[in-house]
Chains A and B, each alone.
Chain A
Amino acid sequence: MATAAAQKTDHTAPYDGDGTAATAGYERAFDAAVAADERIEPRDWMPDAYRATLVRQIAQHAHSEIIGMQPEANWITRAPSLRRKAILMAKVQDEAGHGLYLYSAAETLGTGRDELLDKLHSGRQKYSSIFNYPTLTWADVGAIGWLVDGAAITNQVPLCRCSYGPYARAMVRICKEESFHQRQGYELLLALSRGTPEQHAMAQDAVDRWWWPSLMMFGPPDDESQHSAQSMAWKIKRHSNDELRQRFVDICVPQAESLGLTLPDPDLKWNEEQGHYDFGAIDWTEFWEVLKGNGPCNEQRITQRRRAHEEGAWVREAAAAYAAKHSETGATRA
């Protein structure tokens, strides 16, 4: 898929390391392609820093899908109806699938899944800070669907137009599935909100706990975001953190109203002049603490991930040994 697309663009210039004069030419071609909103493909020349930024961002995105399975999987065995259980299992399965797409996209940049997982396990690469919060009740599954997936979609829809082709195409597939999960999360909360008083209270409590961490998913404020300017120039990113965060708040307020739930922000009010909702200050101290590894579940999440990987080592070794034996004898099944 990537190769076919690469052949269609006229800026294809496989890197052959033949000196600065050629590099300058490649760089001009790259800049022109980005300016013309063309897609950069795996075999195209690209600046090292562009490659590194993409690897970092796509890997972090993939890791978030994988770590993000944990807070929801926490409720699979306790889902209160068979229908909800099936929906939740399908969702967690999709997340593993998204992780797989994204690792493949990262691999087109010359890195390997094993290497990326190793960086995750050793803490050298991050995942979304939101997954360091615990799922304490069933309603949290709904709040994650509505708010966390909602924030992810707001972030990710513009990535469908990202300048790097494999990433953009992965996002198209992922966003379709995420939108579906988001609606299911909303519907779960609606059922609780309209249920018994205990169910309603459970839904409200979950929204109270997940609202602010969801707003933090858009990253630090624009004046503290170290990668933003360059990513926007390269058209990896299309909107600033604060812009997307505002868009998300504007979408959520009316949705909360129709859910019959409140958002835990006394400063939230419609600003007629701006045509947006004003909202209260985010606790950036909490954000940085979670990012540094001091959130409620950082230790637990990474320990579980490492343990799954370590305990699975003998299985992966067996598969490799079997494949080696049977490719020698030509007995491998297609």
Chain B
Amino acid sequence: MTTTVPTTAALALGDDALVLSHRLGEWAGHAPVLEEEVALANIALDLLGQARVLLSLVGDEDELAYLREERAFRNVQLVEQPNGDFAHTIARQLYFSTYQHLLYDRLATGDGPFAPLAAKAVKEVAYHRDHAEQWTLRLGDGTDESHERMRRACEALWRFTGEMFQPVQGLDVDGEQLRSAWLESVGEVLRRATLTLPEGPQSGAWSAGAGRQGLHTEPFGRMLAEMQHLHRSHPGASW
């Protein structure tokens, strides 16, 4: 009994985890408290672990991570967004880990090709979601400044959230159902944080599903240049 690996879906999920892990890795040595150095690195490591499993389903993990160009990456644009301030990072994490939690929860229950991975990852992403939720509450319902920063971050990243619910070939989930569960969950956290769901569209007309099709935002190319530089400077070397 062989299951053909749904390459498109594995790349999409693997790239999401790889890219967000990289962004979180940029926080090392810059976090607002030591406990967050540990927490952000921990989340980054979990995501990197997921990325390695997913990319290995498709081919060689290092070839895929280090030798593809920007147009070949399939991650959603949300995860490639620069860290910004801590509120930005937390808003990105809340949006994404809520999606990932709902998605892996569904994938774990089926007998599809991603069930074993999802069963393990769902525990990790439940922790990530909880971490983002706790910080959303503290920042939203903290001081006037933190409230304002959190509000701005939620607004700024909102336009990138619709992409997560676009259909992905080989991923057997109902996007609309996922979106309504996501809206309910994120809406509830924001309400408790004295914030509201942003009002604008969840994706600009120009960006519906764009990352999944290899169309990325400008900062992404620079991120890849840094990530891939050393590996590309030594073709064929092993590390």
Contact = CB atoms under 8 A, between A and B. Distances in A.
B38 interface: yes
Nearest to B49: A86
Interface string A78-113: 111111111001101100110110010000000000
Interface in A103-140: 103, 138
A92 B29 contact: yes
Given A318-B146, A325-B141, A312 B31 contact: yes
Given A69-B37, A96-B37, A318-B139, A308 B31 contact: yes
Contacts of B42: 93
Main secondary structure of the interface of A (DSSP, over half): helix
A13 B71 CA distance: 70
A308 B26 CA distance: 13
A89 B138 contact: no
Interface stretch (A176-184, A193-201, A259-267): A193-201
Nearest to A62: B34
B133 to A, nearest CB: 10
B118 interface: no
B207 to A, nearest CB: 25
B65 A308 contact: no
Contacts of B49: 86
B51 interface: yes
B25 A77 contact: yes
A332 B5 CA distance: 45
Given A78-B229, A82-B65, A89 B142 contact: no
Q: How large is the interface on B (under 10, 10 to 19, 20 to 34, 35 or more residues)?
A: 35 or more
A191 B229 contact: no
Chain A: interface size category: 35 or more
Interface of B: prevailing SS:
helix
Nearest to A312: B32
B132 to A, nearest CB: 14
Contact of B28 (A73, A86, A317): A73
B195 to A, nearest CB: 13
Contacts of B139: 315, 318
A157 interface: no
Nearest to A87: B45
B3 interface: no
Contact of A304 (B30, B37, B65, B66): B30
A76 interface: yes
A69 B28 contact: yes
Nearest to A138: B230
Nearest to B229: A78
Contacts of B86: 312, 315
Nearest to B192: A331
B38 A96 contact: yes
B137 interface: yes
B106 interface: no
Interface of A: 66, 69-70, 73, 76-86, 89-90, 92-93, 96-97, 99-100, 103, 138, 188, 191-192, 195-196, 198-199, 304, 307-309, 311-323, 325
26 contacts: A70-B29, A77-B227, A78-B226, A84-B239, A85-B25, A86-B45, A89-B44, A92-B29, A92-B41, A93-B37, A100-B34, A188-B239, A191-B238, A192-B239, A198-B237, A304-B29, A308-B32, A312-B32, A313-B32, A317-B142, A318-B139, A318-B142, A318-B143, A321-B143, A322-B137, A322-B138
Given A311-B32, A317-B145, 10 more contacts: A66-B34, A70-B29, A78-B227, A82-B61, A90-B41, A196-B236, A308-B29, A309-B32, A312-B33, A321-B142
